[in-house]
C-alpha cells in the first residue's frame, strides 16, 4: 500500500500513538509525481516528518 492510499489509517495510528505519549515511526513506499519511488520513514506523531532513503543498502 502506498503512503497516499493510507492517509486516514496512518492519521488514526498517529493519534493513538500521541494519546499514549509515544512517537511512531513507520516505513512505507511512496511514489512522487515524477514517478520516482522511495522507501520513506514517516513520523506519525506531533513531530511529523519524512526521511527519503535515496540509496539501497545490501
Per-position DSSP letters for 1-42, written without gaps between them = --GGGSHHHHHHHHHHHHHTT---EEEEEEE-TTS-EEEEEE
- Chain segment 1-50, per-residue pLDDT in tens: 788 788 888 889 989 998 999 888 888 888 888 888 888 888 887 767 77
**pLDDT of amino acid 56:** 66
Number of domains in the chain: 1
In the predicted model, is pLDDT for residue 51 greater than 80? no
This prediction has a pTM of: 0.66
Q: For residue 58, tell me if it sits in a domain.
A: no
> Grid coordinates representing 37?
519511488
**pLDDT of amino acid 19:** 92
Domain boundaries, position 10: 3-53
In the predicted model, is pLDDT for residue 55 greater than 90? no
Q: For residue 37, tell me if it sits in a domain.
A: yes
Q: For residue 43, tell me if it sits in a domain.
A: yes
Q: For residue 26, tell me if it sits in a domain.
A: yes
H or E element in which residue 52 lies: strand 49-53
Amino acid at each position: 500500500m502506498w503512503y497516499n492510499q493510507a492517509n486516514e489509517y496512518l492519521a488514526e495510528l498517529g493519534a493513538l500513538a500521541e494519546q499514549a505519549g509515544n512517537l511512531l515511526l513507520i516505513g512505507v513506499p511512496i511514489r512522487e509525481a515524477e514517478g520516482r519511488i522511495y522507501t520513506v520513514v514517516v513520523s506519525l506523531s506531533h513531530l511529523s516528518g519524512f526521511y527519503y532513503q535515496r540509496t539501497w543498502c545490501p
